[in-house]
Amino acid sequence: MSEAKRHHFVPKGYLREFGIGSDNNLTVFTQRMDLPHFYPKIEQIGKALCSEDYYNRINPYDSFLSSFFGTNPNIIEDKGFPYERQLPDLFLKLNKKKLPQISFSLADTNTLINALISIKFRNPYTRETYKKYQPKLEQDLPKIKEEYISNILDQEIIKVSNNTDLSEDEKAYFNAGLHEYKRRLENDFSNPEEFIQTIHKTTLYLPDSSMMVHIKTLGQRMMNCRWEILQTGSDKQFITSDNPGVYLTNDNNVYAQLYHSFEKLKINRFFFPLSGLHGLIMYINEPDIPFSSSKLIKCFFRPKAVMEYNTAHCCHANKILIGSSKDALEEAFNANGKNWVDVKTRV
């Protein structure tokens, strides 16, 4: 069985919620830095949309960090996103027509929170944030390499070689392991770009990482806050992007990715478009009514609220805006597309 080449950073099961017709057609606004403006095109949901070749692939043969995950270079792509199988069922429960409220089980709530955090974290927007630390890493790695490999590993190899209590076979065995350990560390230290990407790819699966502390705190905050479903009509549809989900403040500031500093930045809600007709709001500073087995989510029909969230997605898209409705995309882009240009040209 051949390995999958295209790795999606936005699940296809999510994109299908915005598709229309038997072919799940989407209208896509694609950013072209070689043109003075953007151009819309109709694109069918397929293997290429919101994907990059081998985006989640790691290097367990040469990288010390990757070796913690076994020998399968596609372990993250193959096993890292089990929630994707549950997304269609979760969306079916959330995307009901004009209900006063939805009862969402504790298990479903947990799964959805994990999915939203993962979709945000695995996104290229976050990887680009990680890459900003590469110059500092390149500066520090030679010193770390010298101190750790020369002063610790090499000395350990010498100790094993000089240990008279070991047989020659035992010395060869232990030193082979140390040399392999050294080879993989040197690979990580010598390839900072790959090392940074590996850190991003694997952080969600390293429970002791400092980032996981922030992620768990965010998950708990999302679990305990008040949720709403916004519903709209076909003439005022929600759009999404290749970086879905935004944090907003009351004074119209928009952030693509946050794990802390909510009070300092005056963040009051997280919005995630669920379909062309539904959007989820988490009021992350407002505690929910305590619940034990199910979360009650009130639903509101508010077409007038759609534009605020559509224009917010113009601020932090990577390369494309996505929707069922071409009119909704054009309206959002005309209202706030300049912010998209400004953000991308500053990167």
**Cα angle 13-19-23, degrees, rounded to a multiple of 5:** 100
- Cα separation of 242 and 315, whole Å? 12
CA Rg, the chain, in Å? 24
pLDDT for 37 equals: 57
- Cα separation of 117 and 110, whole Å? 11
pLDDT for 318 equals: 85
Q: What is the layout of strands, in order, in the sheet containing 25-30?
A: 39-44, 25-30, 320-323, 239-241
**Cα angle 115-121-125, degrees, rounded to a multiple of 5:** 135
3-state secondary structure (DSSP) of residue 301: strand
Residue found by looking up tokens 């709209």 in the block: 232
pTM confidence score: 0.88
Q: Which of 53, 48, 31 is nearest to 40 (CA)?
A: 31
* 8 A C-beta contact, residue 309 and residue 331: no
pLDDT by residue, tens only, the chain of 347 residues? 567 788 999 999 999 898 876 667 777 777 655 555 556 666 767 668 899 999 999 999 999 889 989 999 999 999 999 999 999 999 999 998 778 999 999 999 999 999 999 999 999 999 998 888 888 877 887 787 777 777 777 788 888 888 888 888 888 888 888 888 888 888 888 888 999 999 999 998 887 777 888 899 999 999 999 999 999 998 999 999 999 999 999 887 888 888 888 888 899 999 999 999 999 999 999 999 887 789 999 999 999 999 999 999 888 888 888 888 888 888 888 887 666 654 443 33
Amino acid of residue 295: K
pLDDT for 346 equals: 30
- In the chain, what are the domain boundaries? 58-85+124-205, 91-121+209-346
The residues that bridge with 39 in the sheet, in sequence order, are 30
- Cα separation of 110 and 222, whole Å? 9
Per-residue pLDDT tens over the stretch 15-71: 989 887 666 777 777 765 555 555 666 676 766 889 999 999 999 999 988 998 999
